[in-house]
C-alpha cells in the first residue's frame, strides 16, 4: 500500500487497522503560502522547498498544494526527490540543491527537466560537455555559509566563463544564509552585503542572470531587503517559525499531527519498573496504557520520560523508555480511557497542543530534525481542512 493516502481523508475516517499515522492539513499549508506571499512584492517569486519528503509532510501533496496557492518554483535536495515529483505529473520548474557530478546523474537531470546547482567551472563543464542541453543551471555562491558554492569574490569571473559554454544557460545566482534565524543581525548583514554587491556588479556589467535569490524562511519573514527575485520557503510553509522572535510577523498554521492508538491497558502496583531499563518506577497504583508507536516510527528515544501525549484534550505523561514499536503513558487520572482510543503526540486536541518546537527544545535540537525523522512507515493521511 502506498505511504501517501488519497487526499481528502478526514481524521474520523482513519481505518481502525491503523496503529499510528501522520495527519497533514493541506489547507493549513495553503494558508501559510498565501500569508507569506502577502509579505512579498508582486514580482518576487515563491519557491516551495519540498526536500526530505516535504519535511515529513509528503512532498507530492505539499508541492501540488503550494503551487495552487501561489508558488511558482519547487526545490529538492536529491535527484530522486526531483524525479518523484516529475513522475507524479508535476511540471513546475524544480531546483536541485545538491551538486550533480556523475554522467548518469547528469543524464537523469536532463531527462526529467530538473535544474541543477553548480558550484564550480568543472560542474558547469560536465553539463556542457554532456551535450544534452540547453540545461538551465543555477550558480551557487558562498557568501559565508562555507558549505557549497564558489567564493563570492570569484563568482563574477566564473559566471563570465560559464556564459561562454555551450548547452548550458545560467538561470539564477543564489546564496544561502547561515544565521538568518538568529537575533544578532551581523553575520546575515555581511552575507547580504556581499550578495547584493555581486548582483549590482553583474547588473552594471549586463550579465546578471534572470533570477537572484538569497532568502530562506527566516530572512523572508524578518528582512524584506533580502527577497530579491525569489524567496525559498521551507519550514514556514509547514506552519513553523524558524525562531520565536518571528512569530509577530505573520500568522502561520502548523500542518502536521502525529497520532497513535492505545492497544493495551493495565494497572500495576507502586514500585513497578516500567519498560527497558526501568527508567521509570511507579509511585502509586498506576494505570498504564501501551501506545502503538516508538522510535522505529521516528519518535526520539531521548524523549523518554520527558513528554506528554494528549488523550481527549488532556495531557498524559509518557513513562518509561520509548521502545521501537511502543511506548507507555500514565492514564491513572483518566479512568475512561479504553483500548483502541487515539492519542495525539504532536498537534492539537481540544484546547491543548503539543508542538514540534516543544519536542525540539527538550532535545536541544531544531524542529527540522523532528519533522524529517518521522518514519515512512507512518502513513500520511491528508485533509483539506
- Residue 250 belongs to a domain: no
1 in a known ligand binding site? no
Same domain as 138, residue 201: yes
Asked if residue 61 lies in contact with residue 4, where contact means CB atoms within 8 angstroms, the answer is yes
- Residue 157 belongs to a domain: yes
Asked if residue 322 lies in contact with residue 20, where contact means CB atoms within 8 angstroms, the answer is no
Same domain as 268, residue 211: no
What is the rounded CA–CA span in Å between residue 374 and residue 76? 18
C-alpha cell at 352: 491543548
What is the rounded CA–CA span in Å between residue 280 and residue 257? 27
Which are the catalytic amino acids?
A: 51, 276
Same domain as 262, residue 188: no
The CATH number of the domain holding residue 350 is 2.40.37.10
What is the rounded CA–CA span in Å between residue 198 and residue 10? 49
Same domain as 294, residue 195: no
Our count of domains for the chain comes to 2
- Residue 134 belongs to a domain: yes
Same domain as 309, residue 230: no
Rg (alpha carbons) of the chain, rounded to whole number? 24
- Residue 375 belongs to a domain: no
C-alpha cell at 360: 525540539
H-assigned helices in 151-185: 155-162
- Residue 318 belongs to a domain: yes
Same domain as 312, residue 230: no
SS3 letters for 105-125?
HHHHHHHCCCEEEECCHHHHH
What is the rounded CA–CA span in Å between residue 304 and residue 323? 9
The CATH number of the domain holding residue 108 is 3.20.20.10
Same domain as 264, residue 233: no
- Residue 272 belongs to a domain: yes
What is the rounded CA–CA span in Å between residue 67 and residue 148? 27
SS3 156: helix
pTM: 0.93
Asked if residue 287 lies in contact with residue 303, where contact means CB atoms within 8 angstroms, the answer is no
Same domain as 293, residue 232: no
Last residue of a domain, one of 178, 207, 238: 238
- Residue 75 belongs to a domain: yes
Question: What is the predicted pLDDT for the residue at 133?
Answer: 78
> What angle, 0 to 180 degrees and rounded to 10, lies between the N-to-C axes of helices 155-162 and 186-205?
40
Same domain as 129, residue 54: yes
SS3 376: coil
What is the rounded CA–CA span in Å between residue 358 and residue 356? 5
Question: What is the predicted pLDDT for the residue at 17?
Answer: 76
Per-residue pLDDT of the chain (385 residues; tens, 9 = 90+): 333 333 333 445 666 778 999 999 999 999 999 999 999 999 999 999 999 999 999 999 999 999 999 999 999 999 999 999 999 999 999 999 998 889 999 999 999 999 999 999 999 999 999 999 799 999 999 999 999 999 999 999 999 999 999 999 999 999 999 999 998 899 999 999 999 999 999 999 999 999 999 999 999 999 999 999 999 999 999 999 999 999 999 999 999 999 999 999 999 999 999 999 999 999 999 999 999 999 999 999 999 999 999 999 999 999 999 999 999 999 999 999 999 999 999 999 999 999 999 999 999 999 999 999 999 999 999 998 7
324 in a known ligand binding site? yes
Same domain as 192, residue 69: yes
Same domain as 75, residue 192: yes
Spatial neighbors of 271 by CB under 8 A, at least 6 apart, are 281, 282, 283
Same domain as 110, residue 220: yes
Last residue of a domain, one of 238, 270, 289: 238
Last residue of a domain, one of 212, 238, 264: 238
Question: What is the predicted pLDDT for the residue at 6?
Answer: 35
Question: What is the predicted pLDDT for the residue at 12?
Answer: 54
- Residue 8 belongs to a domain: no
Asked if residue 342 lies in contact with residue 381, where contact means CB atoms within 8 angstroms, the answer is no
Structural domain containing residue 344: 256-354
DSSP percent split of the chain into helix, strand, coil, nearest 5: 35, 25, 40
Amino acid at each position: 500500500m502506498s505511504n501517501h493516502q488519497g487526499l481528502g481523508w478526514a481524521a474520523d475516517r482513519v481505518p481502525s487497522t491503523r496503529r499510528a499515522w501522520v495527519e497533514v492539513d493541506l489547507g493549513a499549508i495553503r494558508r501559510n503560502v498565501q500569508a507569506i506571499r502577502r509579505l512579498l512584492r508582486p514580482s518576487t517569486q515563491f519557491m516551495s522547498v519540498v526536500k526530505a519528503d516535504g519535511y515529513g509532510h509528503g512532498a507530492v501533496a505539499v508541492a501540488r498544494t503550494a503551487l495552487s496557492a501561489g508558488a511558482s518554483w519547487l526545490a529538492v535536495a536529491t535527484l530522486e526527490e526531483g524525479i518523484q515529483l516529475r513522475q507524479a505529473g508535476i511540471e513546475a520548474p524544480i531546483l536541485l540543491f545538491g551538486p550533480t557530478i556523475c554522467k548518469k546523474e547528469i543524464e537523469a537531470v536532463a531527462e526529467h527537466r530538473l535544474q541543477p546547482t553548480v558550484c564550480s567551472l568543472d560542474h558547469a563543464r560536465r553539463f556542457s560537455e554532456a551535450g544534452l542541453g540547453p540545461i538551465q543551471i543555477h550558480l551557487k555562491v558562498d557568501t559565508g555559509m562555507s558549505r557549497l558554492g564558489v567564493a563570492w569574490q570569484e563568482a563574477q569571473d566564473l559566471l563570465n566563463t560559464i556564459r561562454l559554454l555551450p548547452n548550458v544557460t545560467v538561470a539564477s545566482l543564489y546564496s544561502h544564509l547561515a544565521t538568518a534565524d538568529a537575533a544578532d543581525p551581523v553575520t546575515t548583514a555581511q552575507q547580504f552585503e556581499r550578495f547584493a554587491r555581486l548582483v549590482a556588479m553583474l547588473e552594471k556589467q549586463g550579465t546578471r542572470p534572470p533570477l537572484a535569490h538569497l532568502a530562506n524562511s527566516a530572512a523572508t519573514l524578518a528582512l524584506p531587503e533580502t527577497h530579491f527575485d525569489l524567496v525559498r520557503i521551507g519550514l514556514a510553509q509547514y506552519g513553523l517559525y524558524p525562531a520565536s522572535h518571528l512569530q509577530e510577523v505573520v500568522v502561520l498554521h502548523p500542518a502536521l499531527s502525529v497520532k497513535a492508538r492505545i492497544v493495551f491497558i493495565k494497572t500495576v502496583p507502586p514500585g513497578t519498573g516500567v519498560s527497558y531499563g526501568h527508567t521509570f518506577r511507579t509511585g502509586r497504583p498506576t494505570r498504564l496504557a501501551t501506545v502503538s508507536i516508538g522510535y522505529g516510527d521516528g519518535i526520539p528515544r531521548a524523549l523518554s520520560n520527558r513528554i506528554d501525549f494528549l488523550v481527549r484534550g488532556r495531557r498524559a505523561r509518557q513513562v518509561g523508555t520509548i521502545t521501537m514499536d511502543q511506548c507507555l503513558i500514565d492514564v491513572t487520572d483518566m479512568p475512561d480511557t479504553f483500548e483502541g482510543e487515539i492519542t495525539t503526540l504532536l498537534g492539537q486536541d481540544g484546547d491543548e497542543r503539543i508542538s514540534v518546537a516543544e519536542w525540539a527544545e527538550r532535545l536541544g535540537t531544531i524542529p527540522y530534525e523532528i519533522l524529517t525523522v518521522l518514519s515512512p512507515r507512518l502513513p500520511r493521511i491528508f485533509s483539506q481542512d
